[in-house]
Amino acid sequence: MKKETLLSIVLRGTIFLFIWWILTNGEVASLWVGVPAVVLASAVSISLLPPTPLLLRKVLLFMPYFLIHSFKGAVDVAWRVFDPKLPIKPDFIHYELTLPPGLAQVFMVNIVSLVPGTLSAQLQNNLLTIHVLDNDKNFQVELHILEKNIAKIFGLTEKNDRKGE
């Protein structure tokens, strides 16, 4: 068994055991059911989502980007809500992902909401449909930057480089 897989099993098992402990208020007597449930949950988790190497340094470097854009997104939405004219022009846009299918794409789909005024709606065949609050804004550049940052976290290089970036 690879070191990466073993580490992932231990980490997931620890997380599932912690969740079990919280759900049972730390009741030791429940472990006769909890331990088999944790083992089963860990096995299913590994089979459904195999371990993927993450570059911890890149994850740490991503955190400021994440926090800044989360704040900008919150301010943008709050500003629109409190503006008397409610400046929104909702629409759906499409963004073609260059990340490979799997955890990297799932992460991207879930993080897209960082970009102010966006929300992931559907992912089908590497095409991400995104609901936007203002269809006049060019979201493609921001989405591309986000995707490049996520590719770095997973140690990936993009399949095709857009706009020479």
Give how many domains the chain has, as a whole number.
Answer: 2
Q: In what order do the strands lie in the sheet with 118-124?
A: 91-96, 127-132, 118-124
Residues 62 and 37 in one domain: no
Residues 147 and 68 in one domain: yes
How confident is the model at residue 146, as a pLDDT? 92
Residues 25 and 84 in one domain: no
Residues 136 and 95 in one domain: yes
Residues 36 and 68 in one domain: no
Residues 107 and 34 in one domain: no
Domain that holds residue 160: 56-164
Q: Which of 13, 37, 43, 11 is nearest to 24 (CA)?
A: 37
Residues 83 and 67 in one domain: yes
How confident is the model at residue 163, as a pLDDT? 44
Residues 37 and 117 in one domain: no
Residues 33 and 105 in one domain: no
How confident is the model at residue 39, as a pLDDT? 94
How confident is the model at residue 165, as a pLDDT? 43
- The structure tokens listed for 60 are 């740490």
Chunked into runs of 10 residues, the chain (165 residues) has average pLDDT values of 80 90 91 94 87 75 88 86 84 95 89 86 95 88 92 74 45
Residues 30 and 99 in one domain: no
CA torsion 107→101→97→64, rounded to 10°? 20
How confident is the model at residue 164, as a pLDDT? 43
**CA–CA separation, 154 vs 53, rounded Å?**
6
CB 148 within 8 A of CB 58: no
How confident is the model at residue 159, as a pLDDT? 52
